[in-house]
Structure 1
Amino acid sequence: MKKSLLLLAALCYLLVACNSNSPEAEADQPQDAAVELEALAYTLYTSKSELFVEFKPLVVGTESRFAAHFTALGDLFKAIGKGTVKLSLVGEGASQSITATEPEVPGIFRLRMTPEKAGNYKLVFDIQTPIYTDQIIIENVKVYPDEKTAIAQQPEASGGGNDITYLKEQAWKVEFANAPAQIELFSEVIRTGGQILAAPGDEAVVTTQISGVVSFTGKNFLPGSSIPAGMSLFTVKSNEVVQSNLGAEVTKAETDLATTKKNFERASELIKDKIISEREFLEAQLRYENAQTQLKAVSVSRNFNQNRQRISTPMGGFLKNILVENGQFVNAGQPLATISKNKKLLLRADVSQRYFSKLAAITAANFKTTDSEQVFNTGQLNGKVLSFGKTAVANSPFVPFTFEMDNVGNFIPGSVVEVFLQAASQPALVVPVTALLEEQGVFYVYVQTEGESFQKREVKIGAADGLRVQILSGIAEGERVVTKGAYQIKLSTASGTLPAHGHEH
């Protein structure tokens, strides 16, 4: 009898155990214990700052921990190393706040807050740094009455897909920046080569009017030296060896003038009585006029005497080059030096003939020198279109297109440049050219989807003007693309390692 009772008890136990493990029994078990609140993440921008903050859904009476990452925007995005952050929970007639007086580490502020009342709120971050103040607001933040309600209303986690993780701690250590893809007026671009030239009238060539031996009148004459107007540069002294002595030429010209003048006056009297012919009179008049012209041609400034000429600068500027040596023999009319004001320059672009029909529509240009990546715009340099060729340059298939502009960039005349001629403008989706990376002829950019999440996107590009490039497909307006530091993200994906960090989840 006892064995029968024991056997019956064992069968009952097994039956209860099996029933408790059945799917129906599992369905009756509470699920909340196995579900945790997932952290929320927000990324917001102002003109000064970027905020990336993580925290779990807010529950009344439960302490919430905020890991707020603040980045100062500019040419480069850098962590805010000094400052205070005040976090306020505001809404429905209630508010509370907490302040972090300094970052835990540069860029990361830790804040803790225990919500007191359920409802809809907004989170207000007020940041004050030694340089600026800013405010960032997260709208429609819900405070739940209890954790069970928060879990019940928690949205399903979305998969990250092909997102690449690149932490703020990584970005702050390198040259990093991003910018939204924007639709802007974008000009049709003709990309070509060119050269920077000195503007006409902005240079003067100093020459000698007599032949002789040249001497420098100043000391330390070097190319690049500042030269005031009227400054004495050279003295040319002739001697008995010089065959074409200008002093002798002046004397001869004066003698010729006196002789031809007498002959012309005599011929004027004779023609009245028709003693000479009209032809003879006209010949005498012509010889007299030629003698006057010859004397003017050989006359020099008041600084000239028959054996010496002192040569001064015709204008102020700088000494571009010296074309003779001290003590060298020079001939009359020979250039001695070049003086340049260097205030105006010409930008000459050599354009292929196939673009000739579009040249009339060109209004501006971007350009950069071969030794620098800095891009200049003719409009910013007070530039204007000077002319464009109606025919090709001799022995060249190119048509010259010329701008005049101010020399405010310390350009050197003669420099070779890359030119982006800009024609008619129309709206286009553009990003900075620095955002582009290329692999085997395929272009792509990194799009920042969240504070520390990025996607590698292949893009189809159009024209580029040296600063911006047109995007035909691959990204949408408003998406933020990495403009500096894209290569570092590429390297981080290859290494597969991430630095340790302390985000609150």
Structure 2
Amino acid sequence: MIITTNPMGWQWLMVLVLVTALFNPAWAGGGHDSHDDHDEHSEEPALVYTHYSNNAELFVEFPPLVVNQPSTFVAHFTRLKDFKPMTSGVLDIHLRRDGKTAARFRVKAPARTGIFLPVVTAKHAGTYQLILEVRDGDFHSTHDLGEVTVFASKDEATVNQETVEGEIGYLKEQQWVNPFAIVKAEMRALRPSVPGFATVSAPSDGYAVVRAPSDGYFSAETLVNAGQIVTASQSLGSLIPRLGEGADIGHLLVAQERAKSQLQLVQADVKRLKALYEQGAIPQKRLLEARQVLEVAKVELQTAQSRIQQRAGQKGTAAAGIALRAPIAGEVVSATARPGAFVRAGEALFTLAVTDRRWLEVAVPERFGDRIRHTSGAWINHDGRTRILDASHGAEVVRISQQVEPTNRTVSVAIEYPLQTGAKDSGPSLLGARLSAHVYVDKPKALLAIPVSAIIDDGGQPTVYVQTEGESFARRTVTLGLRDGNLVEVVAGVAPGEWVVSKGAYYIKLASTGGDAIGHGHAH
């Protein structure tokens, strides 16, 4: 035991313990600890297979098959939908000859999470087709491992498998508890793009600014604030025009009384003329003219009353003045008006925008101007995710500028896209937000591609980790080409059909520095 009084020494000791626990299966609780029914085979050579179906990965190890000798299969099953181990299910192992099942061996549950331990005891020597089939409710996966030999005696048993590439060991138990996923490198349709700088804006037909129609005082019974949703024509408040110079309260009271008196006279005149019209004494035109005068008198009285309310500050002034209404339905993006505040003609009081759409206006350097003429959309990085904005994702190119903006020497593209409330892949909604973008400039090309998430920077070199066997990985330095959203072209370093770590590659990198603690074999 080493005893130290150096505090930094204790910190480094704790780091050493944590690193050892991460990569040493016996310490971390992962790895292949000894199975009682398989200890006697731990030093023997084993056949190793890794096989993929549409929904599962099988990684299995077992000693060569010998007549009347039990051979324990250590079968690891991983669900490809989430790369988690199977926790239940029934496993059947079939030995087939001439298209018929010569022997079948079954276990009804995994011995532990993800691992089935069926024992196969063949009765007759020969060559058989080896098939493993696992079921768990609606889940079904079949793995045809090809031909396998059942030897007549243990002395004849041999393992004739080529050594696979893969100097890094990373056990299934580690893959299951850490972030992990693999994807097959294959030909995919990638579109060339050019870089640009984007700004989020509201659509031209889904954006409105409500301005003061004249100098005056803003009034509202219910204050409308930013963030509220309004309907078209909804009242936002009213503007009480500023009174003329010298309009004191006395003059306003006199004007109000005069308007009341005039209204009473006109109302009496209309009542009298209506009776005469009904008797046939006067033509209808005379009555209609009197009613028009009555409407004018009402407006004059209302104006006089609103002026008094404005000057005296009486309750109810919100109903007076010029009504301000929302020209569109949507969200109030900004609201600068405050009750009682004086505003100038033309001053912006409210800004409104629709809530279901946005525009991405991308400024592209002029040297790419000719290439964006037939663009189909763009891709962006938003909130740590890549978002594709094209027709297949509900977006539409609405404007392509063919004139260079003289200040920053750019041309612009506008793309309209839908906003999906609560959706993970919804585009940015914050008006005025700025972010980098890539505008598509050509038709798709079939290229060998892998996810961008598979690439890590290792000493300045783009690097991936290829799964060469269930628990073996190879480090590859790659040459990258065209990028399209989440996918990137691999020019060199990976072959079609190889399985590349697309999630958790950094854990494989850490495992590559773990030395013998990671190991290549298994102490089952």
TM value normalised by structure 1: 0.74
Q: Quote how far apart the aligned CAs of 1:37 are.
A: 6.2
Alignment check: 8 A CA contact 1:381 1:407 kept: no
Match of 1:22 in 2: none
1:329 & 1:181 partners in 2: Cα distance? Answer: 66
Does structure 1 residue 438 correspond to structure 2 residue 457?
Answer: yes
Match of 1:257 in 2: none
Alignment check: 8 A CA contact 1:323 1:337 kept: yes
Please state whether the residue corresponding to 1:314 is helix, strand or coil: coil
Pairs within 5 Å for 1:30-429: 38-74=45-81, 76-92=82-98, 93-129=100-136, 132-151=139-158, 154-155=159-160, 158-159=162-163, 163-219=167-223, 221-241=224-244, 306=303, 308-369=321-382, 371-408=383-420, 409=426, 411-422=429-440, 423-429=442-448
Q: Quote how far apart the aligned CAs of 1:158 are.
A: 4.5
1:459 & 1:364 partners in 2: Cα distance? Answer: 28
Which of 449, 466, 483 in structure 2 is aligned with 1:447? 466
Q: Quote how far apart the aligned CAs of 1:198 are.
A: 0.9
Match of 1:21 in 2: none
Alignment check: 8 A CA contact 2:233 2:326 kept: yes
Alignment check: 8 A CA contact 1:67 1:503 kept: no
Match of 2:20 in 1: none
Match of 1:458 in 2: 477
Kindly tell me: are residues 191 and 80 of structure 1, through their superposed partners in 2, closer, same or farther at Cα, counting changes over 3 Å? farther
Kindly tell me: are residues 417 and 138 of structure 1, through their superposed partners in 2, closer, same or farther at Cα, counting changes over 3 Å? same
2:87 & 2:392 partners in 1: Cα distance? Answer: 35
Q: Quote how far apart the aligned CAs of 1:144 are.
A: 2.5
Alignment check: 8 A CA contact 1:212 1:242 kept: no
Alignment check: 8 A CA contact 1:54 1:503 kept: no
1:196 & 1:181 partners in 2: Cα distance? Answer: 35
Kindly tell me: are residues 311 and 111 of structure 1, through their superposed partners in 2, closer, same or farther at Cα, counting changes over 3 Å? same
**CA deviation map 1:386-408 (0-9, x unaligned):** 22222222310221122122222
Alignment check: 8 A CA contact 2:202 2:354 kept: no
2:134 & 2:479 partners in 1: Cα distance? Answer: 40
Match of 1:30 in 2: none
Alignment check: 8 A CA contact 2:168 2:511 kept: no
1:413 & 1:377 partners in 2: Cα distance? Answer: 17
**Structure 2, unpaired ranges of 5+:** 1-42, 248-298, 307-320, 421-425
1:46 & 1:191 partners in 2: Cα distance? Answer: 39
2:461 aligned partner, one-letter code: V
Kindly tell me: are residues 239 and 459 of structure 1, through their superposed partners in 2, closer, same or farther at Cα, counting changes over 3 Å? closer
Kindly tell me: are residues 131 and 335 of structure 1, through their superposed partners in 2, closer, same or farther at Cα, counting changes over 3 Å? farther
2:434 aligned partner, one-letter code: V
Kindly tell me: are residues 353 and 53 of structure 1, through their superposed partners in 2, closer, same or farther at Cα, counting changes over 3 Å? same
Q: Quote how far apart the aligned CAs of 1:309 are.
A: 1.4
**CA deviation map 1:318-357 (0-9, x unaligned):** 1111022222112333321012113222112221122122
**CA deviation map 1:167-206 (0-9, x unaligned):** 1111111110011111122111213321221110101222
1:382 aligned partner, one-letter code: G
Quick check: which has more Rg, 1 or 2? Answer: 1
Q: Quote how far apart the aligned CAs of 1:412 are.
A: 1.8
Kindly tell me: are residues 94 and 399 of structure 1, through their superposed partners in 2, closer, same or farther at Cα, counting changes over 3 Å? closer
2:78 & 2:165 partners in 1: Cα distance? Answer: 26
Percentage identity across paired residues of the two chains: 29
1:86 aligned partner, one-letter code: D
Alignment check: 8 A CA contact 1:82 1:130 kept: no
Q: What is the number of residues matched between the two proteins? A: 406
1:466 & 1:448 partners in 2: Cα distance? Answer: 24
Alignment check: 8 A CA contact 2:376 2:390 kept: no
2:89 aligned partner, one-letter code: G
Kindly tell me: are residues 485 and 105 of structure 1, through their superposed partners in 2, closer, same or farther at Cα, counting changes over 3 Å? same
Alignment check: 8 A CA contact 1:87 1:126 kept: yes
2:439 & 2:233 partners in 1: Cα distance? Answer: 41
Q: Quote how far apart the aligned CAs of 1:160 are.
A: 5.4
Please state whether the residue corresponding to 1:461 is helix, strand or coil: strand
2:503 aligned partner, one-letter code: K
**CA deviation map 1:36-82 (0-9, x unaligned):** 963111111122111101112222211111000011112x4111223
Please state whether the residue corresponding to 1:477 is helix, strand or coil: coil
1:499 & 1:461 partners in 2: Cα distance? Answer: 30
2:370 & 2:346 partners in 1: Cα distance? Answer: 44
Alignment check: 8 A CA contact 2:199 2:360 kept: yes
- Aligned-pair Cα RMSD in Å: 2.7
TM value normalised by structure 2: 0.72
